Chains A and B, each alone.
Chain A
Amino acid sequence: MNQECTIDNSDIVKKPESGYWHDAYPELGRGPISLEDSVCPEFYAKEKEHIFKKNWLYVGRAEQLPKKGSYFTRELAVLDTSIILLRDKDDTIRAFHNICPHRGNKLLWQDDPFQETQGTTPLLYCRFHGWRYNLDGSLIKASREDLLLDFDKSKCSVPAIQCEVWQGFIFINLDRDNKQSVRDFLGEFAEGIEGYPFDRPYQLYKFKAELQCNWKIFMDGFAESYHGPYLHAGSFGALTDVAKLDKANPYTDALAFQLKDQHRMFSFYGEPSKQTPFSRPIECLTESSAAGPWNKKDDFGPLPKGLNPTRSEKYGFDSFQFFPNFVLIFGSSGFTTHAHWPTGPHSHVIEVEMFYRPPTTHKERIAQELTVSFLNDIVLEDASPLEGMQAMLNSGALKEFYANDEEILVRHLHKVVQDAVALGEEVKESERIKEGERNKQAGGGK
């Protein structure tokens, strides 16, 4: 009856009645978690093979390729390759291995072949022997064609990599056999985010750090806010005061955790940024805090349905961790990306890009400078235990670690990584057996 007046609340996320998020995801288990995936060099080799070389990876935004012929390169140790991203003359964004198919010279770099570069070019030119390629990778002309023997021009292209753009985020996939679109891969979370005004102009703040810890150890820190009152005791006093009660903490307990396939998210408390008894002098001066400039106007319109999934009035931000290494955070200042690029089993580079609403006055720009400076010191505070922690994990003193109900995303990350590696090894083994059988049959036929 009266169905028109019924508000559809079916997509509002609620904590299970038991009070434990783990009860919504019984398949996760609750026991200790193996540390092998963050310590063993052998595991890292498998992780490269079965995860990083098989999945869609975020490498940059479409705005970084503003016109036809724009390009940038990515030096990605975990993929054992350098990648060219470019905008072709038909506006298609393409990805290639950064290699000339003639003799293998690296195509695009400046003074140092291991530094990333960017620019604009009408074609891909190899400076070793002067071969030229179209922006779709096909050969325009080899130098001195009269010297070529048995040469099939159509087979001599710059090796392409699958590349798709979702909402302006450029993804690549090194798996030649991949049949899944990036949108399908990102799944329901992506659907819930679509509609966010990603295509507006933004003020970009960008940071990078290399840390001597496994990439997952860092992601774990950004997958829970339970550490807030303790690790950030010096920087966020308010959290610590409540935590002294040692019970449910409305400031740090997540509003929601959600797991979808290999991806995960949490929604987090946050009052509108404003003056509090804890505001520091510099915050009062710039009228801003780590949570963003005070009293900013909210002109982004209604949020897409996947944001603030509990529809809480106390909502502050949402953090989505897309498998394997791409984090997308939405807050009142705009959105932020984290990309975690392993450089070895015990080291990685974190890249932070903050896309903030463009300031319209100098005062607004100064307020953002406070937020950005504060947040990036907080990132370093988040990172501060991790290098010592990694060294101790490497000692082998522990084989497992614990994760509580507020650490459910930590559990999920390690589970999906370990599952993906196990599955990859299984597939490889069964292919090896099949191959052996084929060889036997071929041998028997002689």
Chain B
Amino acid sequence: MSSSLPQAFADLEHLVAEWAIEDGHQRYLKRVNSSMDELKAFYDEIFPRGKAAIDYVDQFDYQQPLPKDAENLRNLIYALITVAMAVEVWRQPRVKHSAKTVLTRLS
């Protein structure tokens, strides 16, 4: 079976199905519908690989579509950004005091 992540990141494979979400709104919903423990676990696992992942993705020409495995990796980086707001800033899945309000991302 071909891996859905570049070889050097194969150990993150188990995160792809759940977290490699390109769509900004779906990613946000995933964050606010996750527990803090789940967010923290994802963050702790991927953050230390963040620098290497960004460098890997950055070697591709931006004007060309990414290979599927690099695209999955890029989407994990996007998810890290979304989740980091909860972990580093708010210390809860939702923006502090925002109750049920969600900003719908359209593009």
A residues engaging B (CB < 8 A)? 204-209, 211, 234-235, 280-282, 285-286, 352, 359-366, 369-370, 372-374, 376-377, 379-381, 383-385, 387
Contacts and interface: CB of A to CB of B under 8 A. Distances in A.
A234 B96 contact: yes
B62 A360 contact: yes
Contacts of A204: 107
* Interface range for B: 20 to 34
B106 A208 contact: yes
Contacts of B81: 282, 286, 366, 369-370, 373
Please indicate which of the listed interface residues B47, B78, B84, B102 has the most CB atoms of chain A within 10 Å of its own CB: B84
Contact of B89 (A360, A376, A377): A377
A365 B74 CA distance: 10
Contacts of B103: 207-209, 352, 376, 379-380
Contacts of A373: 24, 81-82, 85
Nearest to B94: A380
B84 A282 contact: yes
A363 B102 CA distance: 27
Given A209-B104, A373-B81, 16 more contacts: A204-B107, A206-B106, A234-B90, A280-B88, A280-B89, A282-B84, A361-B58, A362-B74, A363-B58, A364-B62, A369-B78, A377-B95, A380-B103, A384-B96, A384-B97, A384-B98
A105 to B, nearest CB: 28
Nearest to B25: A207
Interface in B53-72: 54, 57-58, 60, 62, 66
Contacts of A209: 101-104
Contacts of A361: 58, 62
Contacts of B57: 362-363, 366
A204 B96 CA distance: 27
Contacts of B85: 282, 373-374, 377
Contacts of A207: 103-106
B39 interface: no
Nearest to A286: B81
B99 interface: yes
B107 A205 contact: yes
Given A366-B74, A370-B81, A387 B106 contact: no
Contacts of B50: 285
B77 A281 contact: no
B51 interface: yes
B62 A206 contact: no
A294 to B, nearest CB: 13
A208 B104 contact: yes
16 contacts: A207-B103, A207-B106, A208-B103, A208-B106, A234-B90, A285-B47, A362-B54, A363-B57, A366-B74, A370-B81, A373-B85, A376-B103, A377-B90, A380-B98, A384-B99, A385-B97
